[in-house]
Amino acid sequence: MLQVARLSPKLLGDAADLTAEFFSSRMHPGGGFQDREGAPDLYYTVFGLEGLRALQRELPADATRNYLQSFGERPELDFVHAACLARCWANLDESAPAEHLTQLIESRRTPDGGYNPTPGAAHGTAYGCFLALGAYQDLELDPPQPERMLACIDSLRSADGGYSNQPGAPLGLTPPTAAAITLSRALGRRPPQGAAEWLLQRCLPEGGFFATPAAPLPDLLSTATALHALTGAGVSLEPIREACLDFVDSLWTNRGGFYGHWSDDSQDCEYTYYGLLALGHLSL
- With a CB cutoff of 8 Å and minimum separation 6, the contacts of 137 are none
What is residue 270's predicted lDDT score, i.e. its pLDDT? 98
pLDDT in tens, 241-280: 999 999 999 999 999 999 999 999 999 999 999 999 999 9
- With a CB cutoff of 8 Å and minimum separation 6, the contacts of 235 are 196, 200
pLDDT in tens, 73-116: 888 899 999 999 999 999 999 999 999 999 999 999 999 999 99
Q: What are the two backbone dihedrals, phi and then psi, of residue 115, each rounded to the nearest 5 degrees?
A: -135, 145
Q: What are the two backbone dihedrals, phi and then psi, of residue 216, each rounded to the nearest 5 degrees?
A: -75, -25
What is residue 213's predicted lDDT score, i.e. its pLDDT? 84
Mean pLDDT of the chain: 97
Look at residues 155, 180, 269 and name the one whose alpha carbon lies nearest to residue 220.
269
What is residue 76's predicted lDDT score, i.e. its pLDDT? 87
What's the pTM value of the predicted model, to 2 decimals? 0.97
Element (H, E) at 40: strand 40-41
What is residue 194's predicted lDDT score, i.e. its pLDDT? 97
The per-residue pLDDT string of the chain (284 residues; one tens digit each, 9 = 90 and over) reads: 999 999 999 999 999 999 999 999 999 998 999 999 999 999 999 999 999 999 999 999 999 999 999 998 888 899 999 999 999 999 999 999 999 999 999 999 999 999 999 999 999 999 999 999 999 999 999 999 999 999 999 999 999 999 999 999 999 999 999 999 999 999 999 999 999 999 999 999 999 999 998 899 999 999 999 999 999 999 999 999 999 999 999 999 999 999 999 999 999 999 999 999 999 999 99
Residue 50 burial (C-beta neighbours within 10 Å; 0-12, 13-18, 19+) = buried
Look at residues 279, 216, 283 and name the one whose alpha carbon lies nearest to residue 250.
279
